[in-house]
Amino acid sequence: MKQLWAPWRIEYILSKKTDECIFCEYPKKNEDRQSLILYRGRLCYVMMNKYPYNGGHLMVVPFRHAWDLEGLEEDVICELMTLTKRSMASLSKVMRPEGFNTGLNIGRAAGAGIEEHLHMHIVPRWTGDNSFMAVLDEVHVIPEHLLATYDKLHPVFNE
């Protein structure tokens, strides 16, 4: 039997599930650390992925609920990309990745986990960061607790 330690998952497992869009609801809570929101722009915000592909996995999310780029105005798309650039710079300063995966998953067929609200993924990468784990058993190794990473990134985003 294989066991992996992921203490942050129990919160999700035990939480009350809702049909509400988390990307619309989290910013309303004004509990940025608990919601993993690192930065609020005028039209978009940056948050950490609670179930990351890799340590430091961020998402840039428009405040406006839209499932694709067609549903967003040009100024929202511009801020989405500006905050993607800022996210990469902040991650570079704090975590020193060797590369990045960035992108939008639009629609279920493209792998969107939350397909009704568009969001940009920024995943820092290091050579051999997942080694054989992801290949052999679809396992992701996250070496640092999410809130520890949050506490390192938050001040850099808000300088």
Q: Which residues are catalytic?
A: 119
Beta-bridge partners for 103 = 121
Can you tell me the distance from the alpha carbon of 159 to that of 32, in angstroms, rounded to the nearest whole number? 16
As given in the structure block, the two tokens for residue 23 are 């990307």
Distant-in-sequence, close-in-space partners of 67: CB < 8 Å, separation ≥ 6: 106, 107, 115, 116, 117, 118
The H-or-E segment that residue 103 falls in is strand 99-104
